[in-house]
Chain A
Amino acid sequence: MSREFPPALAKRIQDIASRYPAPQAALLPVLHLVQRETGFLSAGDEREVARLLGIAPIKVREVVTFYTMFTRRPLGRFHIQVCSNLSCSLAGGEPLLEHLRAKLGIKPGETTPDGKFTLTEVECLGACEQAPCMMVNFDYYGNLDAEKIDRILKDLT
């Protein structure tokens, strides 16, 4: 069963929906909001979003499973996204993913058992002048090397 969202969250969802002539258009911003509040998008969250926007639950599922930024399982407290595209690898980014893998003891797509880190390999993040680069949650880190990554990880507490 889906649980109802707290009234404040439901209100914000309606506010977002009012910016569009059709409520389904609010789906991406609403899912971003819900994911920020709940950590990940459960089947219940999907149904509740569908109910509030007045659309079929399948419409929500279609969108959640298409876009890489939406997650249907919990992520670590720090989501590390490492670019493996061309500009980053030309700037020496290739070994960095391997470094993080060894350091955190997880493969891309996995979360550490303590729930602290999730590691993801991503395509171009749009910061190629600072290659190699990665994101931790929504913060960008550029001009990386193994040493700098170690310092960044140490500060993430």
Chain B
Amino acid sequence: MNAATKILTRDFELGHLHRIETYLDRGGYRAVRKALLEWKPEQVMDEVKKASLRGRGGAGFPAGVKWSFVPQETDKPKYLCVNADEGEPGTFKDRYILAHDPHLLIEGIVIAAYAVGIHLAYIYIRGEYELIARRLEEALAEAVAKSFVGRNILGTGFDLDVFVHRGAGAYICGEETGLLESLEGKRGHPRLKPPFPASVGLFQSPTVINNVETLANVPFIVLNGAAWFLEQGQAKDGGNRIFGVSGAVNRPGIYELPVGTSLRRIIFENAGGLKPGRTLKAVIPGGMSSPILLPGEIDVKMDCDSVAAAGSMLGSGAIIVIDDRTPILDVLAKVAKFYAHESCGQCTPCRLGTSWIHKIVKRMAAGKGKADDVDTLIRLASNIKARTLCPLGDAAAMPIAAIAKKFRAELEQATKGSA
């Protein structure tokens, strides 16, 4: 295996990849031709299943398995929703795919829709990415003109309409059922599961929801096969991932690397290590909702199972690097503020818990901490966890509990003076 082989970002330096002519020159839409002209839908689904393509949005669920949950025989229409609501703090990798290579996403959409028997897809993109949404619409128009999207695609009789749908600034809409509610024109209040979207999703119909990067992998699986894809990554977690590194490193940015690359290597080799004169204090490995890791915990392979075994979460692969000059109370304050702001308000433990935590942390930051504040934070977090409709409650509870437990001494020291 060549560790440096880029797949998804292979042609990003080229520029103009968002124009269909450039994309076609680079071999684009070959996978759509292969899938639609040579394969049956179930062959596509099987190949993606075998490839162990795990969701790149956060939960890491195997995409092929997710597709297979959609009933084959149904009198309802089936829908595909592309989750491009990239809002997990620290995450910016999908923006690169959307802006640099929209046709790659469209190609993945067409193949996924063909595999599942879907004729209508929506790309739910965060509202702030307005200029990118326009570029995406232009790319879709190009794809329709060349018969890769629309009626009777490539003469196969397969129809697929794809529309871009802009969100309007709500983190909760990145949660899959919040996204569905939002797409239906409502507040992004997540739904109780089950039923799962594969059986009752958008407009009460069977629905597949996949992240941008997940779908962008599909054309390469079709072209090169599941065995090749697994060779790139791990046996139960195939391919490469686009890791986004931000925070106190010399070279923040995206790094496409095999699933299973060590976190230490990504930080110290790819991202160039800590800024001059600073040392590593902690790392958030998979977006803000993933529990924080200490410097002694970063020899972890960045695949879903290994990061989970280390007590955190690979999430969206967004690595936030925290240096020794940053007080941990500042980090805690950011995490607490974010979830208090983004809780949708539907479930009491999350609505009240996140704002209560935020109030305590603000008080601590104002130098008015109490001796038992850290314990209160841990207790509040554990009272939110697993007591809400959607994962936002856990997403708030896990990082707060981890920071409170791992940095108890520093937090208690920081608030002591005024007690």
Least CB distance from B99 to A in Å reads 11
Q: What's the dominant secondary structure at chain B's contact region?
A: mixed
Contact B91 A28 (CB under 8 A): no
Say which residue of A24, A122, A125, A131 sits within 8 Å of B186 (CB atoms).
A24
Interface size on A, residues (CB 8 A): 40
Say which residue of A25, A89, A126 sits within 8 Å of B128 (CB atoms).
A126
Contact A24 B188 (CB under 8 A): no
Please name the residue on chain B nearest to A23 by beta carbon: B185
Please name the residue on chain B nearest to A26 by beta carbon: B185
Contact B187 A66 (CB under 8 A): yes
Interface size on B, residues (CB 8 A): 56
Q: Which A26-85 residues have a C-beta within 8 angstroms of B?
A: 26-29, 31-32, 55, 59, 62-63, 66-70, 84-85
Contacts of B321 in A (CB 8 A): 90
**Contact A28 B87, CB 8 Å, known A89-B330, A125-B128:** no
Contacts of A124 in B (CB 8 A): 87-91, 288, 338
Say which residue of A59, A63, A68, A126 sits within 8 Å of B86 (CB atoms).
A126
Contacts of A26 in B (CB 8 A): 185
Say which residue of B169, B247, B288 sits within 8 Å of A91 (CB atoms).
B247
Contact A29 B165 (CB under 8 A): yes
Contacts of B246 in A (CB 8 A): 87, 90-91, 128-129, 131
Contacts of A29 in B (CB 8 A): 165-166
Contacts of B126 in A (CB 8 A): 126
**How far is A81 from B411 in the complex, measured between Cα atoms in Å?**
31
Contact B334 A85 (CB under 8 A): yes
A123 within 8 A of B: yes
**Contact A59 B185, CB 8 Å, known A29-B166, A85-B334:** yes
Say which residue of B129, B183, B252 sits within 8 Å of A128 (CB atoms).
B252
Contact A86 B182 (CB under 8 A): no
Least CB distance from B341 to A in Å reads 6
Listed A/B pairs (27) with beta-carbon separation below 8 Å: A22-B185, A32-B127, A62-B186, A63-B187, A66-B187, A66-B188, A67-B127, A68-B169, A70-B168, A85-B89, A85-B288, A86-B90, A87-B247, A90-B246, A90-B248, A90-B321, A123-B87, A123-B341, A123-B342, A124-B88, A124-B89, A126-B86, A126-B92, A126-B129, A129-B244, A131-B246, A139-B131
Chain A positions near chain B (C-beta within 8 angstroms): 19, 21-22, 24-29, 31-32, 55, 59, 62-63, 66-70, 84-87, 89-91, 122-131, 135, 138-139
Which 7 pairs of residues, A with B, have the shortest CB-CB distance?
A: A27-B185, A67-B168, A128-B246, A68-B169, A24-B185, A69-B169, A124-B89
